[in-house]
Structure 1
């Protein structure tokens, strides 16, 4: 591509009022759902993306009216017909076995523990690759949000760019009501409340961790989580419902650690006491329920049955799924 052609494709777009405070990477993913996080990060870190003439980090937040320099956006990868057969028949069957709900615009998967949502240097089997089970090009579903590798539960996909844009927009505007189940050490007091504690990412690559930070600290991001006790095993462990009002990396894990009740089976945010209580248990965190507007109108509510890893925790502590309300946060609002 010539320099002249590149210049012609550079655009300046303005941040809408309703988008005030949105992260740069999410702003890009809302408009171009086919972009990967890695692509957005590369464009930002190389200076191809600028806001009001200045460089910005992928996690930087935009203000209403800001001018965003948008470099040429790569087209979606369109593979040759039948190329999705690079997936083995077993992989195709596995991908389709995860479906909780599917219609013309939406797919909801029950993502298992240990399966990454997107690939990386050492990750070749992940949800994004498995989406080829539905076809390529316009037939290929699009990711609209993420779950940690070791978090199981509901993962939504959009069929087609318009559906993906609307779903991603609902997450970006924090209109999606997400309910997680978690088993934590101890018994929180009070047994229900809200955590308003900014978080900051430290470390690099696999050693990245979110820690509490002052809101004025450079790189700190506001983070809010509501929690409610569902049941408890004496003072040893509790089954909590968690609702993140913001979407920071590892937010629930970092917030529970911060209040002294780390999630069981968490090698990154746990401590010696929780590790001893966890024993062989894997991360006890499950995306149980999502409620949001369906792209075609009406409400979409999807629930995911717990994973075998989470069931092991329930059995160990004697919890019964029937004890939980459908939405333990009905009427709960953000603190600010």
Structure 2
């Protein structure tokens, strides 16, 4: 078999060499690619190239002849389950934005992003219903917890997936969540800087604050409104991307997210007919697009969250108001919970402007 030359397509722009082989020549192992690279047989525009180097659209990759390999017991490829008309309709009803590079879903609470142990219904299993006019089905680029609702971004091409993945990895995104907390945070606007690690004995299923060995985790919590000491309507922004970060930080600071029994225990449930579902919603995502510009999308609240807002006397419209101006003078002492605006005394209800009632 003679050498082959492959022109890198737009959909493979930015992909690693080893990933290109996995996508287009799955029968070629990583060890074979590495061997070709070491011996100079693998060439990109005539120059030597390594497995970890990245490709650009229009470049020519020269691949040596592949020796036939006897396959003794090849595993059969498991065919994806065909979706029912009801599943297709449901999946497409979740779409709140559709463009050349991206699909955005408003994920309902209770639907997992991906499958796992005893999890058979998930977004990943519905992707065939979301291909529309694209060449392939969309790709997941981030996750939401099963019980968290709201904005979930899907990439419609491999190039977009690589681009969005880099944006999430470098924190070049703005993610805003809405939550209702049991109890009112001490400060109106605080930076939570508490490292997080896996909780021993939980099999990696639960996280906790770990000052000694945890990874850096920072979140900004801004109180939108308060219902005395009972609850608060809070905007949460994760500044790092640790597992269950917002939930751990909320519980660790004494105001767990309503309905989050995993981290808040019985203190996370409110009486008076308030839903026991978790009240954490990915409200807004702002992220750059591969060809320039930005995607800025918001997801409507699920029914149980909207009903709890109304029951507690909160207004959804207040959540989209711009935050008050930060204090100009820095605090005298550096603290883990650093205030960006003046904190109300606990139990007082704020007006929409953020001022204290007289």
Q: TM-score, normalised by structure 1?
A: 0.71
Asked if the contact 1:179/1:327 (under 8 Å) is kept, the reply is: no
Structure showing greater Rg: 2
Unaligned runs of 5+ in 2: 1-27, 38-51, 55-75, 328-337, 339-358
Unaligned runs of 5+ in 1: 14-27, 32-76
Q: Secondary structure at 2:153's aligned position in 1?
A: strand
Asked if the contact 1:153/1:286 (under 8 Å) is kept, the reply is: yes
Cα offset for 1:183?
0.2
- Identify if the C-alpha distance between structure 1 residues 263 and 121 changes in structure 2 by more than 3 Å, giving closer, same or farther: same
Q: State how 1:244-263 maps to structure 2 within 5 Å.
A: 244-263=238-257
Cα offset for 1:328?
3.9
Tell whether 2:234 aligns with 1:269.
no
Corresponding residue of 2:127? 131
Q: Distance in 1 between matches of 2:236 and 2:104?
A: 20
Q: State how 1:223-302 maps to structure 2 within 5 Å.
A: 223-277=217-271, 280-302=275-297
Cα offset for 1:294?
1.4
Q: Distance in 1 between matches of 2:263 and 2:35?
A: 42
Q: Distance in 1 between matches of 2:77 and 2:170?
A: 30
Cα offset for 1:135?
4.0
Corresponding residue of 1:188? 185
Tell whether 2:106 aligns with 1:110.
yes
- Identify if the C-alpha distance between structure 1 residues 269 and 293 changes in structure 2 by more than 3 Å, giving closer, same or farther: same
- Identify if the C-alpha distance between structure 1 residues 297 and 208 changes in structure 2 by more than 3 Å, giving closer, same or farther: same
What's the RMSD between the two structures over aligned residues?
3.3
Q: Distance in 2 between matches of 1:103 and 1:223?
A: 33
Corresponding residue of 2:303? 308
Q: State how 1:91-102 maps to structure 2 within 5 Å.
A: 91-102=87-98
Corresponding residue of 1:23? none
Corresponding residue of 1:21? none
Number of residue equivalences:
265
* 1:171-192 deviation line (CA, Å, top 9, x unaligned): 1100110000000011112111
Q: Distance in 2 between matches of 1:240 and 1:294?
A: 28
Q: Distance in 2 between matches of 1:193 and 1:150?
A: 25
Q: Distance in 2 between matches of 1:321 and 1:11?
A: 59
Q: State how 1:1-336 maps to structure 2 within 5 Å.
A: 7-10=31-34, 86-135=82-131, 138-203=135-200, 208-214=205-211, 216-217=212-213, 220-277=214-271, 280-325=275-320, 328=323
Q: TM-score, normalised by structure 2?
A: 0.67
Q: Distance in 2 between matches of 1:203 and 1:138?
A: 44
Larger fraction in helix: 1
Asked if the contact 1:200/1:210 (under 8 Å) is kept, the reply is: yes
* 1:124-179 deviation line (CA, Å, top 9, x unaligned): 11001101103499411000111000000000010110011111111110011000
Cα offset for 1:275?
2.5
- Identify if the C-alpha distance between structure 1 residues 10 and 295 changes in structure 2 by more than 3 Å, giving closer, same or farther: same
